[in-house]
Amino acid sequence: MGKGFIAPVMVPVKSSNVKAIGYDDLNKMLYVEFLNKKDPQQPGDFYRYYEVDERMYLRFLAAPSKGKFLWWNIRGRYRYTKEGRTGWRGPKRERIKKSKTAAQKTSMKRQKPRVGTRKQRASGAKRKKR
């Protein structure tokens, strides 16, 4: 958690994915703590969702499936931050496409064209000459 952060009262919920839900009505922030499935003794990930109406929070509490409600009604609609308490690695790095060198380009040109179907090439059967 960040310095000076005071978590609201978290309401424990019965769910296979969500551990507790909290709401700060002054700042309109929804707090969700997830279960840590790797080590249940340790706290799970903690998310803050911004500009969430109190009505949405009450609907979330009343939902029979907390995970489905979160997935369909909150995730993707509200801006959020994640407090990494379980060693979150951060966003995936974008893969950088390497440009091919001149030698690689010429070696590609020299390759023989493929003939026959994949099955024929795998069995080693040769194409009949006409």
pLDDT of residue 100: 58
93 occurs within a structural domain = no
pLDDT tens across 53-78, in order? 999 999 999 999 999 999 999 988 99
Domain count along the chain: 1
In the sheet that 29-34 helps form, which strands lie side by side, from edge to edge?
11-12, 18-24, 29-34, 46-50, 80-83
Helix or strand (DSSP H, E) at 60 = helix 54-62
35 occurs within a structural domain = yes
| Residue with more model confidence, 90 or 4 | 4
Give 113-130 as a DSSP string: PP-S-HHHHHHTPPPPP-
128 occurs within a structural domain = no
Question: How far is CA 32 from its chain centroid?
Answer: 16
Q: Is 0.75 surpassed by the pTM of this model?
A: no
Copy the structure tokens of residue 81.
């931050």
